[in-house]
């Protein structure tokens, strides 16, 4: 799921960007969540929760906390998030360079949607290179998911449940064996079978100890003795590579 934050103190532009994103992302068959803010302050006060957002659309000249200050705070927690400045005037290029903004989008009433389309196309291309995407047939329909967003896959009676890092309440399901899914994801080198019923994304494992896998979400999974050595070795290797 893509999580997007829009911060703009002009409601008309806040809503136009939101409406555009809804139509655009539905057309791309991507799951999404869009949060709207009328100031950057709410974002700067999120602290570590900032890292759960993938894209930020920030009005440069907001009251209270402007887009530049908001972007600098975002970068304290996330180097990966895409920052898009929305502005009436392109005169902040140096500040944008400092926070690695991907685009400046002009508040042009006639061409805003065209600019946003180009912007989102560029972001999704970069995401596809940085965050591999896979299209799967779920019970909920055909979906494109970002591999890095999968926390773990749980198997029960040949039904797989996909759990995602950015929303503990959001799951996707399919009827498939975990063995088959493990083979399908083997090329991504980020998943480890920790149990007969669990395939876990290595990037979210905090530690492996005492026959238990501890995820950075606070969840724990027991590891059978027969698998423990391989799981521990894979975890150490992955941590060494990143």
Burial 102-135 (b: 16+ CB within 10 A, else e): ebbbebeeeebeebbeebbeebbeebeeeeeeee
The conformational region for residue 65 under phi > 0 = left, psi -120 to 50 = alpha, else beta, is beta
Q: Give first-to-last CA distance, the chain, whole Å.
A: 23
pLDDT band at residue 126, thresholds of 50, 70 and 90?
confident
How much is the pTM? Answer: 0.59
Is residue 199 a contact partner of residue 218, using CB atoms and an 8 Å limit? no
In order of their start, the domains of the chain are 2-130 (3.40.50.2300), 133-241 (2.40.50.1020)
Q: What is the pLDDT of residues 207-240, one digit of tens each?
A: 999 999 999 889 999 999 999 999 999 999 888 7
Position 97 scores a pLDDT of: 61
Residue 218 is given by DSSP the state: S
- For the cut 70, the answer to whether the pLDDT of residue 11 exceeds it is yes
Position 78 scores a pLDDT of: 86
Q: What is the pLDDT of residues 29-68, one digit of tens each?
A: 888 999 999 999 999 999 888 988 999 999 998 888 989 9
| Sheet arrangement for strand 212-215 | 205-209, 212-215, 220-222
Q: What is the pLDDT of residues 146-156, one digit of tens each?
A: 888 899 999 99
């Amino acid at each position: 799921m893509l999580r997007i934050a829009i911060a703009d103190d002009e409601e008309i532009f806040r809503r136009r960007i939101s409406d555009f994103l809804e139509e655009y992302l539905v057309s791309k068959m991507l799951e999404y969540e869009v949060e709207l803010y009328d100031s950057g302050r709410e974002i700067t006060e999120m602290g570590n929760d900032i890292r759960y957002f993938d894209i930020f659309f920030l009005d440069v000249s907001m009251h209270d906390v402007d887009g530049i200050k908001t972007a600098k705070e975002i970068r304290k927690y996330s180097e990966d998030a895409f920052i898009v400045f929305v502005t009436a005037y392109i005169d902040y290029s140096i500040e944008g360079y400092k926070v690695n903004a991907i685009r400046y989008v002009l508040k042009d009433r006639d061409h805003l949607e065209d600019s946003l389309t180009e912007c989102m196309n560029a972001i999704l291309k970069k995401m596809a290179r940085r965050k591999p995407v896979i299209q799967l047939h779920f019970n909920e329909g055909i979906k494109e998911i970002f591999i890095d967003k999968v926390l773990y896959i749980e198997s029960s009676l040949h039904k797989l449940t996909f759990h995602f890092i950015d929303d503990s309440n959001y799951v996707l399901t399919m009827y498939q064996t975990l063995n088959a899914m493990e083979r399908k994801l083997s090329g991504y080198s980020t998943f480890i079978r920790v149990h007969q019923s669990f395939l876990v994304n290595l990037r979210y494992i905090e530690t492996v100890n005492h026959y238990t896998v501890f995820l950075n979400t606070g969840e724990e999974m027991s590891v059978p003795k027969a698998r423990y050595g391989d799981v521990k070795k894979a975890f150490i290797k992955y941590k060494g590579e990143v």
